[in-house]
Structure 1
Amino acid sequence: MSARDLVHPLVLLRRFASDMGAAIRVGGVRGGLLATCLLAVGSLTPAYLPQSSPYWVPARALGLDSWWAKALGTGMVIAAVGLLMIAWFNVRPTIYVGVKHWAVLLWWSLPLLLAPPIFSHDAYSYAAQGWLVHNGLNPYEASPSFLPGPFADQVAWVWRYTSAPYGPLALQISHGLVELAGLNPYYSAVLHRIPALVGVALVVHFLPRIAILMNVDPRGVAWFSTINPLLVIDFVGGAHNDALMVGLVVAALYTAYRGRMFWALVLIGVGTAIKQPAILAAYPIAVIGSGWAGWHVRHLARFVVRLAYAFAVSIGVFCAISVATGLGFGWLNAVTVPGMIVTMAPFSLIGFGVQNLVNLITGDPNGQLIWKIAQTLGLVLSAAFVVWYAITRSRTRPVSFLAWAYLAFASFGPALHPWYLTWGGLLLPLSKPSPRVWRIAAALVSVLLVYDAGNMAWRNDLVGLALAAVAAAVIVLYRRYLRGHRPLAGLGYHDEEGEANA
């Protein structure tokens, strides 16, 4: 077969059909497909739908807003999460053994493409912010409540009165999607899967290739990162803009390993204009290929110049995009917005509990000082960890630095949602994790999915069902742990020594 034949559309179509057919013949893939089908159908329930959703009219006409319909929908979602976790473990040995990782992901993603946003209403907020831009308002200065109506009605009440914390390019993309949807509020939210899918495609395409460049087994990377249930549910199902940010960071790392530092930094600048944490990746990109041999003054001075160049280019691209969009830098006034609610962020959660106790004792129901101090302490400690890791390990382990830095900021910051852990979690297989870390990471994915499903189930007033499902999931996970389920054998990866000189 000639090289010309390889790119012929019919040849590509046959190869695509062959790879998809090979994947669906695997039981684990079919189990995951069943899970996402249940998830898509179960999402048509009050926990997941804003009151302005077009699904409400037929649901009420069919009597599907009853307690029993809520119970059925919640049960389907809980079952879907459990099935998807089991499928993820079961499909593990087949990756790259006759089954392509992208084909598995595509099968699992298909039912979610037209479903309402899963486990989060953030996509509705994106749509409302795009609606603001369409009407000549700056989302950094105006909240969705400035324009009462169906767009604002879709937004969760807590975010309806806050300005946007996202990058300016993300807001302009939302504006474009609102236009593409014909100014329809619901379809504007669903169309946010388009940039999310672009980010997912970048992750799926480049992460295994980075593994090869780093002399890391790509099978483990493909299994843990590209078909991870968090990626399927939160990136594809939830349509979070984190997906595009992570995809651009991964593409930038690959570009840096290919020796194109400038273009890697341009990608980081674009990613930062989507969501600001992308800027942290400028540091490891400066390390990759730097030849930073040691802590001699001459070597250090050369690297400092390279580092300054890296941040200058990345920040310069970000600033150029900010000016070009006409939205400016108003996001600086909204950096505290994500921390306004109680999430599972450890320091924020502890601080909130202590604050409530103090408020009870003092009789002041509005006190927030201790809560804010706890959030600040978490940020300071995470920053200290990042600086320590940068000094002690990043010279030879730049990707490990980025993975753990993202995980630290996500875990100890003022707000923590499951999809925040994908920032560093999807890079974790590139950092030579020990078998214990692999087990903890896989278990954590399961716990986060159970948390997501249970959290949304409570909104259906089904506390008992949610708790029972959580208990059942914990039992299943514990039994799987006892049976010795571990990630792929032979994942004692290359420890990135010499990575800076790759």
Structure 2
Amino acid sequence: MTAPGASLSRYAGLLGAVLLAVAGYLGGALPDAPFGATPASIWRAPDGPATLTCWLVGTVLLVGAWWSLRGGAPSTRWAYVTAGLWALPLLVAPPLGSRDVYSYACQGWTYAHGVDPYTVGVAAAGCPWVDTVAPIWRDTPTPYGPVFVLLAALAVGLGGGLTGTIVALRVIAVAGLLLAAFCLPPLARAAGIPPRRAAWLALAGPLVGVHLVAGAHNDAVMLGLLLCGLLVVVRRPGRLAALLLAGVLLGLAVTVKATAVVVVPFAVLAGVHGRYTVRALLRAGGWLVGGSLVALMVTSAVSGLGFGWVGGLTHSGDSEQWTSPPTAVGFVVDYAGALVGRDPQAVPVVRAVALVLLVGVLVVLWWRAWRTLRGLNDDRLRVARVEAARPQVHWAVWPWVAGAWAGRPRAAGLARPWVALRGAALALVATVVLSPVFHPWYATWPLALLALAASRTTWFVLPAAAAAFLALPDGTNLARFTKAPGALAMTALLVLLFALRRRPSPGPTRRS
């Protein structure tokens, strides 16, 4: 029997999803919606007050309902049913939160009509729907891999017109979410995490419904392939066929969105069977990385596009917003320079430094995971205690990350996949935090894996909940209108977190 509080959360969230869908019909990212809208201009539109009221109230209800059960839904089935109920209104709503789906449609049209989307923008290619694409992306090559370009072209072929193409792209995104939903429970059980909690955190969040379902972002496809590859390697570690298949799936995820590549080294750790030795690591890594390279080469060859998509990745940072911590710090340095009559142009410099730091963080995360797993080599131990670093460790992106590394007694069989998944989750956290640009749906990447590996939830659920308020239904990004205060606030937050990290931690507590 479901607790009354859980039922209240279910129907409060459903009401929130319905209000968001209504906001979408009143003022969502419709094809003919004007560009350059501001919150004030949206409010002055005929349906503006109703649009913004439905959007705000709906977001509050959906976020509050998700937050209230962050410790876990009553059951896994209950979590799936509730997430499905919340997704239904958004499934039939217009695109919400961004206009990226129109870019996907034009990129698919470009490829389907024999033009290389990695060399020209959709405007130069002559896409008939170019007026629906955000101006900043009309003249830039696509940054997505060949698998997603093929899927977008398939959507164009199946859909025919713009509306049909958008519907087909949404079906593809939902298919990615369904694949992720299939993989979550066995991955959670393998890592010793309650599946009811993992399913709830990964699938019922407001970012999933608004941006992956209604917005049809290709992140859904990437996550589905990513979790499927991890499931294969976790369920069949050491098996050559499984390692090869897992590598192929992870490679396909990379050819949707390159971000998935940071997970591959941790998948290699999960693929080691038996004792953790350098020889076993090289064996597992050779087969898994080989599978990924096969996927990359085959899809690049089949599409006829080669590796031109790698160059398109450089345009992903064309948008400068304070929601990216490195960009926010760069803004503040520029503001400080302006006060003394100088123009430091610090944003590209700080972004470059952050990317170098990201490489270092990823290496340290992998090395720590490897050292932890090497400590589990004594198979005579029935129970292994996976000790974690405390908040003062130098690689921590946020002090709260220590919650994900908190030591806990685990059976040795559970510790292995948990350590690998935990490392992959923190690698995605670092990637999101240190990347040149951040959009709300980027938070779904680490969220899916943290749901499988984190011991504590507040430290990552809170930022994901806050990100749900960053966009308006027509795709207007509120960060555009809060550049200076947002940059100052983000920089102050980073300074505060660094100061908290530097505080000495209490000594170990003696247990009787």
Instruction: Tell me the TM-score normalised to structure 2 length.
Output: 0.76
Match of 1:38 in 2: 19
Tell me the alpha carbon deviations over residues 388-407 of structure 1, each in whole angstroms, 9 at most, x when there is no partner: 01111245311111000011
Which amino acid in 2 is paired with 1:393?
Answer: A
Alignment of 1:69-468 (within 5 A): 69-90=47-68, 95-97=73-75, 99-148=77-126, 150-182=128-160, 184-259=161-236, 260-291=242-273, 293=275, 299-343=277-321, 344-355=323-334, 358=337, 368=345, 370-394=346-370, 396=373, 397-434=419-456, 438-453=457-472, 456=475
Deviations 1:415-470 (A, max 9, x none): 11121121122111322423xxx1222221221112234995678x999xxx9xxx
Secondary structure of 1:100's aligned partner: helix
Q: Which residue of 2 aligns with 1:486?
A: none
Post-superposition Cα deviations, 1:161-211, rounded to whole Å, max 9, x if no partner, equal 1000001110111111011111x1243234211121111111211112111
1:47, 1:457 within 8 Å by CA — same for their partners in 2? no
Residues 266 and 314, structure 1, Cα contact 8 Å, conserved in 2 = yes
User: How big is each residue's C-alpha offset from its partner over 1:93-115, in whole Å with a ceiling of 9 and x where there is no partner?
Assistant: 88344952221111111111122
> Residue 292 of structure 1 contacts residue 300 of structure 1 at CA under 8 Å; is this kept in 2?
no
The runs of 5 or more residues in structure 1 that have no matched partner are 1-18, 54-63, 468-502
Q: Secondary structure at the match of 1:427?
A: helix
User: Shift of the alpha carbon at 1:284?
Assistant: 2.1
Alpha carbons of structure 1 residues 93 and 276: separation in structure 2 relative to 1, 3 Å: closer
Task: Sort the Cα spacing of 1:313 and 1:126 in 2 relative to 1 into closer, same or farther, 3 A.
Answer: same
Segment of structure 1 superposing worse, 138-147 or 448-457: 448-457
1:341, distance to aligned residue in structure 2 (A): 0.8
Contact 1:114 1:190 (8 Å CA) reproduced: no
Aligned-residue offset at 1:22: 12
State whether residues 261 and 285 of structure 1, in contact with CA within 8 Å, keep that contact through their aligned partners in structure 2.
no
Q: Per chain length, whose mean CA-contact separation is higher, i.e. which structure has more relative contact order (CA < 8 Å, sep 6+)?
A: 2
Partners of 1:32 and 1:87 within 8 A in 2: yes
Q: Distance in 2 between matches of 1:76 and 1:262?
A: 48
Q: Which residue type is aligned with residue 276 of structure 1?
A: A
Change (3 A) 1:357 1:150: farther
Q: Distance in 1 between matches of 2:336 and 2:473?
A: 26
Contact 2:222 / 2:257 at 8 angstroms: preserved in 1? yes
> 2: distance between equivalents of 1:45 and 1:159?
25
Q: Secondary structure at the match of 1:236?
A: helix
Sequence identity of aligned pairs in percent? 27
> SS of the counterpart of 2:25?
coil
TM-score by length of 1: 0.77
Query: What is the CA distance between 1:138 and its match in structure 2?
Result: 0.8
Question: Structure 1 residues 286, 91: closer, same or farther in 2, change over 3 A?
Answer: closer
Residue 283 of structure 1 contacts residue 310 of structure 1 at CA under 8 Å; is this kept in 2?
no
> What's 1:16 paired with?
none
Deviates more, 1:375-384 or 1:347-356: 347-356
- The size of the alignment, in residue pairs, is 424
1:326-366 C-alpha deviation (Å, 9 max, x unpaired):
111111211121111113110012213433654786687xx
Label 1:30 to 1:177 Cα distance change in 2 as closer, same or farther (>3 A): same
User: Do the aligned partners of 2:106 and 2:122 also contact (CA within 8 Å) in 1?
Assistant: yes
* Preserved CA contact (<8 Å) 1:140 1:165: yes
Counterpart position of 1:490: none
Which residue in the other structure is 1:488 paired with? none
Give 3-state SS (helix, strand or coil) of 1:247's partner.
Answer: helix
Distance 1:84 1:330 in 2: 40
Describe the superposition over 1:25-63 as per-residue Cα deviations: whole angstroms up to 9, x where unpaired: 93322222211111111023456334279xxxxxxxxxx
1:117 deviation in Å?
Answer: 1.5
Letter in 1 for 2:177: V
In structure 1, distance between residues paired with 2:203 and 2:104:
25
Cα separation, 2, equivalents of 1:45 and 1:380: 44
Taking a change above 3 Å as real, the CA distance of residues 359 and 134 of structure 1, as seen in their structure-2 partners, is: farther
Equivalent residue number for residue 500 of structure 2: none
